[in-house]
Structure 1
Amino acid sequence: MSQEQRLMLDGMLRNGPLDVGGDIAEQRKIFEAMLTAHPLPDDVTTAATELGGVPVITSRTPGTDPTLVILYLHGGAYVIGSAATAMGLSSDVARRAGARGVTVDYRLAPEHPFPAAVDDTVAVYRALLDEGVPSSKIAFVGESAGGGLTVAALIAIKEAGLPQPASAVVFSPWADLSLSGTSITGKADVDPALTPAALRTRAADYLAGADARSPLASPLFADLAGLAPLHIQVGSHEILLDDAIRLAARAAEYDVPVELQVWPQVPHIFQAFAALLDDAEAALQAASAFTTRHWADQSQSQAA
């Protein structure tokens, strides 16, 4: 990726209208307008439905295997965003994996604080299992808050006695709502999208008085033993860099198969800009390869 591409994206984000820590109603409108401004490709079909009583949007593209499912969790600091705003990236991820996409419209804070998002995600996963989709054919993908939520959901799935999915991919996961990582302040000057103050505000909205180090709120502090194989991507120009690095180390401590990729000089959720950034395209290819490899491994294990 060229330095010109990096600088263009940095400027675009710094000068954009989104303020993650700002008025929630206003920021929800801005976020929706930004992420739905460009139509989906013509060959993507979507349908709004429910699974386990939770709204979801499914996506399909020609040639994908409907028996394989990408269960996608959107970002937005737990207070903004929706399945609809995530469709550009989530449908792209599902297409690359050759799967049906199921993007969860989990409840948002502060109207529905922790653990509502975790409960909704587990309900959707349980519903897929109840419909006859094997856990070995489901892969989680989550971005930002949805990345932390992905790992929290895997922990809740384990605690519920349900089988783990085949794998999980997380982009720039927000895994520590106590904001104890050194990059929270150390990378603040180079992060064009997030600020420490904004994350403190949104963490308070989501937690509503709950312990910031609760394992299902901040999976960085959880027992991760037995979780699905994990692939973590993060940019070096973001304040959540330490969340990703420490999450990978924590997973390794508990013998979870884990891959960590740190992409230099790129911002939070750079994968959403694959049309502009060469590294974003490469990162999405790497994530897809991880997901499809673990589906293949599961199939070979079951056939043996």
Structure 2
Amino acid sequence: MPAPLDPVIAQIIPLLPLRDPTAMTPQSARDSLRALAASRAAIPPPPVETVQDIEVSGGAGPLPARLYRIGTTPAPTVVFFHGGGWVAGDIETHDRQARNLAIETGAVVISVDYRRPPETRFPGAFEDAFAAVSDIFNRVAEFGGDAKRLGVAGDSAGGNLAATTAIACRDAGIRLAGQLLVYPVTDVLGAYADAGENARYPSRAENADGYFLTRATMEWFCGHYLADPNHALDWRVSPLRAPSLKGLAPAIVTTAWFDPLRDEGAAYARALEAAGVPVKYHEGPGLIHGYFGLGDASEVARAEAQRARADFKALLMRGA
């Protein structure tokens, strides 16, 4: 039997944004995530030695990014992509996640502010993500990093970008030490509205509503990201549909049990394993989508996120 919903998280769910797509606009979604981040202002952020706003190359020009590090000696480097359904998150909303990643892995973490839809639809976010990783790989010494210990990480839509970027890096000859995919979007065909496609992933029905991220909200996000529904067949949108996953960097894949995305994340972990990619999978018992951002309130969420980051640290320290 799966673990029951963490009672602390059950109390938090009614306070979380993005649960009613019928009343959302891209700007209101962005404002609500920013407001959620601002509501934690009384809780000091996890301390890191250096926080520096920088620029990295994107698909169509420079992108804002933020560098975090806890020391001064050469360290692994992680390129981090925030979640928010491609539409709503940014560097500020995911500041604490980036800090925790730097603290718990010892890596230089560079959080990238990719272009968002609907202003820039697919493939803009993907092109920005891959261009940023390529740029950071080429300039890694400037940031105090080590090209032999470069990884990608992201949550939700950011996990989608990390997964697709890892595929592009393999194809471009950029060797990654690891990828951390946190409740990633991996199969967008049908945009969460097609009954046949949804039936392939029971979690889309089991967790369609009531646990923060809803299936309807995912449909809303996809409608903004994809100008053409057929783009969902492209592996740069749906990495689970890539022609081959062989030769990809070792992966840490996490899901949340009470999340409509649970089963596609688990399917991606299985597909990676079937392709010979070393994978460690965390199913997130008792947790919801977004739990990496709930560690200040929930001990269950904090412990599960720490386990995943510790596994990712081991990949980074091992090197490519």
Report the TM-score, using the length of structure 2 for normalisation: 0.85
1:114-142 deviation digits (Å, cap 9, x = unpaired): 11111111111111122144432212111
**Map of 2:64 onto structure 1:** 55
What amino acid does structure 1 have at the position aligned with 2:214? T
Deviation at 1:75, TM superposition (A): 0.3
Seen in structure 2, the aligned counterparts of structure 1 residues 64 and 94 have a Cα distance that, compared at 3 Å, is: farther
State yes or no: 1:262 paired with 2:255: no
Distance 1:205 1:16 in 2: 21
What amino acid does structure 2 have at the position aligned with 1:50? E
| Larger displacement relative to structure 2 (131-140 or 195-204) | 131-140
Matches within 5 A, 1:123-134: 123-133=131-141, 134=146
**Map of 1:244 onto structure 2:** 265
Question: Helix, strand or coil: the match of 2:122?
Answer: coil
Instruction: List, as ranges, runs of 4+ consecutive aligned residues in structure 1 with deviation greater than 4 Å.
Output: none
**Map of 1:253 onto structure 2:** 274
Correspondent of 2:227 among 176, 191, 208: 208
Correspondent of 2:202 among 164, 174, 182: 182
Distance 2:64 2:20 in 1: 24
Seen in structure 2, the aligned counterparts of structure 1 residues 37 and 182 have a Cα distance that, compared at 3 Å, is: same
Question: Helix, strand or coil: the match of 1:168?
Answer: strand
Distance 1:64 1:281 in 2: 27
1:53-103 deviation digits (Å, cap 9, x = unpaired): 221111223x46553212111000011111121111111111100122100
Deviation at 1:255, TM superposition (A): 1.0
Distance 1:6 1:171 in 2: 19
Distance 1:108 1:20 in 2: 20
Correspondent of 2:95 among 80, 87, 97: 87
What amino acid does structure 1 have at the position aligned with 2:285? P
Aligned positions, number: 294
Deviation at 1:13, TM superposition (A): 1.8
State yes or no: 1:169 paired with 2:180: yes
| Larger displacement relative to structure 2 (104-113 or 201-210) | 201-210
What amino acid does structure 2 have at the position aligned with 1:36? A
1:199-257 deviation digits (Å, cap 9, x = unpaired): 11211211110421211101011121111001111111111111111101111121111
Seen in structure 2, the aligned counterparts of structure 1 residues 65 and 145 have a Cα distance that, compared at 3 Å, is: farther
What amino acid does structure 1 have at the position aligned with 2:85? A
Q: Is the 8 A contact 1:275 1:281 kept in 2?
A: yes
What amino acid does structure 2 have at the position aligned with 1:18? L
Distance 1:162 1:102 in 2: 21
Seen in structure 2, the aligned counterparts of structure 1 residues 20 and 123 have a Cα distance that, compared at 3 Å, is: farther
Correspondent of 1:98 among 106, 109, 112: 106
| Larger displacement relative to structure 2 (175-184 or 89-98) | 175-184
State yes or no: 1:233 paired with 2:254: yes
**Map of 1:19 onto structure 2:** 19
1:139-185 deviation digits (Å, cap 9, x = unpaired): 211101111111111112223x2322100111111111123322111
State yes or no: 1:34 paired with 2:39: no
What amino acid does structure 2 have at the position aligned with 1:30? S
Question: Helix, strand or coil: the match of 1:235?
Answer: coil
Structure 1: runs of 5+ lacking an equivalent = 300-304
Deviation at 1:277, TM superposition (A): 2.1
Distance 1:59 1:176 in 2: 31
Deviation at 1:284, TM superposition (A): 2.6
Structure 2: runs of 5+ lacking an equivalent = none
Provide the aligned C-alpha RMSD in A: 2.1
Question: Helix, strand or coil: the match of 1:177?
Answer: coil
Distance 2:73 2:34 in 1: 29
Deviation at 1:42, TM superposition (A): 4.9
Q: Is the 8 A contact 1:172 1:233 kept in 2?
A: yes
**Map of 1:302 onto structure 2:** none
**Map of 2:212 onto structure 1:** 193
**Map of 1:219 onto structure 2:** 239
Identity of matched residues, %: 26
Distance 1:94 1:42 in 2: 10
Question: Helix, strand or coil: the match of 1:285?
Answer: helix
Q: Is the 8 A contact 2:207 2:214 kept in 1?
A: no
Seen in structure 2, the aligned counterparts of structure 1 residues 13 and 162 have a Cα distance that, compared at 3 Å, is: same
